[in-house]
Structure 1
């Protein structure tokens, strides 16, 4: 049955004060007679029909401990909530629960997420990136218009390359329609190469002859045979004042690749190690 509103409660008390019976009052408001008795008892004891204030369960951590939990995870974000909970003694003189630590962190805006993955960046790498950026900070538009930027990208054919999620019921983890099928060697994929510049586009080029296993990826020889000779060298023969950019992947930094570019008179843009 629905609860009585404040207005209905006041009307019910008025009828009771007018010597109506609780049974008659509950029939009017279509509620259980025990509701009328509790309403009358609350009015006699407190002089009001308002619900008593509820303080809820007492917190087991102090504000100072809440700040400690938050600051420790800001300083050490890979610490688990369970590890933090074991080090915090609550007001009940026992370690707090993991769920308590998690709630304190969420209240302050920290959420448990999967970390992004990236290469190990040392101080030397950071300095090299900074020096590169400072050296190219004042470049004018004409300078950037003569740069040919290139890169490779792998495209998976039969499955997503990243993490996927599935909505399923409990106990259906290995149901046929809830399992992502994959091959031991990674499945079929395409390796593409392309380059862009000011009003210029080269590719896309699909690498041929690739497959699973060592030595079947993009090698320096394949890079020269399928990209540099048929696409890059002819472009720079027609645009001699341009600069070529590619990252520090092994096929790009191989001695054979560097010798070919040097013999062809192609100017290279320096690229810091482990740069995106």
Structure 2
């Protein structure tokens, strides 16, 4: 049981008056249904989003303390509430509990989550990505239409990577209906390659002869020879091939082949997929 901040009370009232029920409103504000109900009833009785002075226990932090807690957390996202509490006591001489820190952060919708894992970008990689962005930031639709984006990906045939879940009662672990067949050694996989541009698309090429290497990339699977080379004149005279920096793509024989066939390769920075999602 607790009282919401005035801004959250205003939001709760607006959502309830718009026709929403208490459950989704409580979920959106991170509070219980009873808390939402109590604060909405108080607003309807008093016409104010603020609680009456003297209601509840005295707040242990001031506005400046709350701002300090929030800024400390935003400046160091991995800092624990215990560390924030210690910093507040050291700098402002205010002693509060770890739970109070969590409550102050929750009031501004800051909650603890598992961080997203991404490959580490070294300085040289950041510099290369910035240079690439500046070089292409003013490209128009006609210039991008000259580019064929390509990549390959491997898919497991039988393995489900342990993501499957089932519903069962306690004690039914070994019931026949709850078994998931498992193929020894993963059951194999399949690799496919494809390409796409603004005005062109290449059908998926199945790489069914093991791992993709430079020789297979050029001739054995006929990826470059039979799919990229014939398509290049149909896209544009200034055709550009985009491929990542996988070892088969940057091998000397592949580079020589592209030079001989007069195919321009886009200078794609390493790990350029990192941090693209929001």
**TM-score, normalised on structure 2?**
0.61
Change (3 A) 1:186 1:110: farther
Change (3 A) 1:156 1:70: farther
Tell me how many residue pairs correspond in the alignment. Answer: 215
Deviations 1:6-39 (A, max 9, x none): xxxxxxxxxxxxxxxxxxxxxxxxxxxxxxxxxx
Greater shift in the superposed pair: 111-120 or 54-63: 54-63
> Is 2:255 aligned against 1:262?
no
Distance in 1, matches of 2:164 and 2:76, equals 28
Q: CA deviation at 1:270?
A: 1.5
Give 1:142's aligned residue: 142
8 Å contact kept, 1:60–1:96: no
Change (3 A) 1:260 1:164: same
Distance in 1, matches of 2:71 and 2:150, equals 43
Deviations 1:106-156 (A, max 9, x none): 211212122222222234333322322332233343332222111223334
Greater shift in the superposed pair: 263-272 or 224-233: 224-233
> Is 2:117 aligned against 1:117?
yes
Q: CA deviation at 1:202?
A: 0.8
Gaps of 5+ in 2: 1-51, 274-278
8 Å contact kept, 2:159–2:186: no
Distance in 2, matches of 1:66 and 1:269, equals 50
Change (3 A) 1:207 1:81: farther
| Rg larger for | 1
Distance in 2, matches of 1:223 and 1:101, equals 56
Distance in 1, matches of 2:111 and 2:180, equals 27
Secondary structure in structure 2 of the residue aligned to 1:110: coil
Change (3 A) 1:183 1:69: farther
Distance in 2, matches of 1:167 and 1:107, equals 36
- 1:217-236 to 2 correspondences below 5 Å: 217-224=211-218, 225-226=220-221, 227-236=223-232
Distance in 2, matches of 1:219 and 1:207, equals 10
Give 2:242's aligned residue: 245
Give 2:28's aligned residue: none
Greater shift in the superposed pair: 52-61 or 116-125: 52-61
